[in-house]
């Protein structure tokens, strides 16, 4: 069940990113932070690259398949989580477009961008909650040791959510941490 530890770590990494994202949005809205479009773009890049392209496909193609084989009555839960993955990818695309519109419009474009970002953030927290509270306990209880071998191998290939399989996300995560002001990063206030 090493995959469960990896999934928890990936959720924590994504949680750190969306928490930092909300912190930055709150600061811009309050006027305590100036819009940093490079930072906002990096946050969106992380959620596009890591959850959408690395984490969710492993769940869809490996974990969910094994759960459905062992627990057919979990179909509604799996369908909901797969739909969340699809909608999440659509939301990140919409979020990127909203960032471009915000950049073009200036301060007048912030409200629309923030609304799109908060929709993504709120949906992400709900999704993580369902996986952590419903899916993973079900998998832990109902999957056999032989099921876990393939799941563990697939998720172990991810390495860790801060660096990625070949280290391709290490620089991105470090850049985000360096740009986000304390307490969520080490960037300038």
Q: 3-state secondary structure string, 126-188?
A: HHHHHHHHHHHHHHHHHCCHHHHHHHHHHHHCCCCCCCCCCCCCHHHHHHHHHHCECCCCCEC
| Residues forming a β-bridge with 187 | 181
Q: What is the pLDDT of residue 54?
A: 84
Every domain of the chain and the residues it spans: 2-179
The residues of the chain scoring below 70 in pLDDT are 159-164
CA-CA distance, 176 to 43, in Å (whole number)? 7
pLDDT given at position 45: 94
Res 160: pLDDT: 65
Q: What fold is seen in the domain 2-179? A: 1.20.120
Phi, psi (deg, nearest 5) at residue 140: -60, -40
Return the pLDDT at 161: 61
pTM for this entry: 0.91
Q: Position of tokens 């620089």?
A: 171
């Amino acid at each position: 069940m090493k995959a469960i530890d990896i999934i928890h770590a990936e959720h924590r990494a994504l949680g750190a990113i969306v928490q930092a994202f909300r912190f930055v949005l709150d600061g811009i809205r309050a006027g305590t932070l100036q819009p940093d479009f490079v930072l906002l773009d990096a946050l969106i890049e992380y959620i596009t690259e890591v959850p959408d392209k690395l984490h969710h496909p492993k769940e869809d193609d490996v974990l969910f398949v094994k759960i459905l084989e062992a627990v057919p009555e979990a179909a509604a839960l799996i369908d909901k989580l797969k739909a969340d993955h699809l909608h999440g990818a659509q939301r990140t695309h919409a979020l990127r477009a909203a960032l471009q519109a915000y950049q073009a419009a200036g301060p007048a474009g912030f409200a629309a961008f923030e609304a799109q970002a908060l929709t993504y953030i709120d949906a992400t927290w709900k999704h993580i909650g369902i996986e952590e509270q419903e899916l993973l306990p079900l998998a832990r209880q109902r999957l056999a040791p032989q099921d876990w071998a393939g799941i563990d191998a697939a998720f172990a290939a991810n390495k860790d959510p801060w660096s990625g399989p070949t280290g391709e996300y290490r620089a991105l995560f470090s850049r985000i941490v360096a740009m986000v002001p304390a307490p969520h990063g080490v960037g300038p206030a």
